[in-house]
Amino acid sequence: MWRRYLMWFAHEHVDFRHAEMQSILTLFNIPIKFVEKPCVLKPYWIVELPSEEIVKKIASRSVLIKNCIELWGRAKTESQLHENLRSALKNDTGEWIMQKSCNADASDRHICPSTLIQACCSADKSFKVEVETFCKHFSMQEKIAKIESFSYLPLEGAVKLKNPDVTLAYLEFYGVDPNNVPEKPYDLFFGKWVADGQRDLIQVHSLKKRQFIGNTSMDAQLSIIMANQAQVKAGDMVLDPFVGSGSLLVAAAHFGAYVLGSDIDFMMLHARTRPTRVGQKVRNKDESIRANMRQYGTESRYVDVVVSDFSLPTWHERLMLDAIITDPPYGVREPTEKIGIERENYTLSEEHLVNHIPSKVEYGLSHIYRDLLNFAAKHLVLGRRLVCWYPLVREEYREDQLPWHPCLKLVANSEQVLSKLTSRRLLTYEKIHDEVPDVPIDHNGGVHNFREKYFCMGEQTRRERKEKRAEEMATNAANRALTVNIT
């Protein structure tokens, strides 16, 4: 029998919620039924799944899930919730029952099978009840009063606050606007806790505690989301071609993948760049991507990183990858460069070749993503994924102008807002064809210089603020002069 569950999410990176969950579900080939359509204004999903073990499997990957509970009761008011639970104790049908409520202000009544409750009520099972609210704070006395209101449940076991056999959860939802909290909750839920999500990884992998970081190191939560959307699993081979300080490799290795990377920045890969942390004058000798892997106990999954120009052929033609996860440079905090020289017919003598340091030229965004998608089409295993960030000006966004390739299918597209004017989108592509065309593929849109527009917008915004201040000062001066004349 399929059971009903409440998936309670952290209300952040909301636009990534569906993409991460869908990736996890398809990774484990898990069927799911939605009791009601998910809404971005609600931090929860109500779903039906085949078993508790499957719920635990989902929670073992998701960093956006806070916890999952086996749903026993749901209502719009406390009195209705208690009435539903009392009715559930008498429901011996073994199935969920939906009844139309007599009260016009109340929702339909969803009554769970009594077997769900009775399974947790035996004398040999200790228990505790937790109270959680969204967008409202309760004092300890208020929480205790709400816990005691469930005293009619036939719980025969002892109360145990640490590591009980059964944890029961009572949740109240007061909307998502902290500046407009209603007096009464919009929704109430009660049930048995099943599993927590992977929120702890955000602190475990925090950049504040990491040994080696750079200016553009990806934060822990987004790195794990990217690994989930790439469907990284144990034994996979994962590449980051713009590896930087290796944050994405850390996340992929956490899920058991073997990781390798490349970057054109020799100084970054050898930890000789200027330190990023405030107050740090010089980098420590043991700072490196390998040191980060060692810090998290995943050094055995670290293959290597190489200094290379992504625009030039580096990898063997027969190299096949299970996932490519990357954050290409945008030209804002890190330059977009490739090896080259603007002078025509330039040659280098043999005596200078030994100590020669190649010069670099602009590596435009359109060329970066053309090369990236071509590389993924050639080196990804069929059915596996490329996950990458794509920067853009928000008002210019059009989905049909995103990078594309005939061998790759765009399966997820989530936005992270950077400012009022700019954002970046996390694009997830799946390889659907093995026959890669010989002609170079370029996307039909997005051919823009994000760096130029980014700084132009900044200049324009500063100019507008300066002009507005000047107008306000002129208006205030005129008002003061008028006041003096009237006086």
Domain annotation for the chain: domains and CATH numbers: 3-198 (3.30.2130.30), 204-453 (3.40.50.150)
How high is the mean pLDDT of the chain? 89
Q: What is the pLDDT of residue 482?
A: 58
| Strands 408-417 vs 3-9: parallel, antiparallel or unpaired | unpaired
Q: Kindly tell me the sign of the dihedral angle through the C-alpha atoms of 159, 162, 168, 173.
A: positive
pTM: 0.89
- CA distances to 72, 75, 84, 95, 186 from 102, rounded to whole Å, are 21, 13, 13, 22, 19
Encoding tokens for residue 82?
A: 């208690």
Strand 237-240 relative to strand 321-326, pairing: parallel
Quote the DSSP letter at residue 405.
B
State residue 443's pLDDT score: 47
Cα atoms in the 13 Å half-sphere on the side-chain side of 297: 5
| pLDDT value of residue 213 | 94
What tokens were used for 73? 């009761």
Handedness of CA 363, 365, 366, 372 (dihedral sign): positive
Tell me how many degrees the CA angle 187-188-193 measures, rounded to the nearest 5. 130
List the chain residues with pLDDT less than 50. Answer: 104-106, 443-447
Cα separation, 306 vs 476, in Å, equals 61
Q: Give the number of other CB atoms < 10 A from CB of residue 267.
A: 11
Q: Annotate 28-47 with b (16+ C-beta within 10 A) or e (fewer).
A: eebebeebeeeeeebbbbbb
Cβ(225)–Cβ(13) under 8 Å?
yes
The encoded tokens of residue 173 equal 């939802």
Query: What does the alpha-carbon distance between residue 177 and residue 38 come to, in Å, rounded to a whole number?
Result: 18
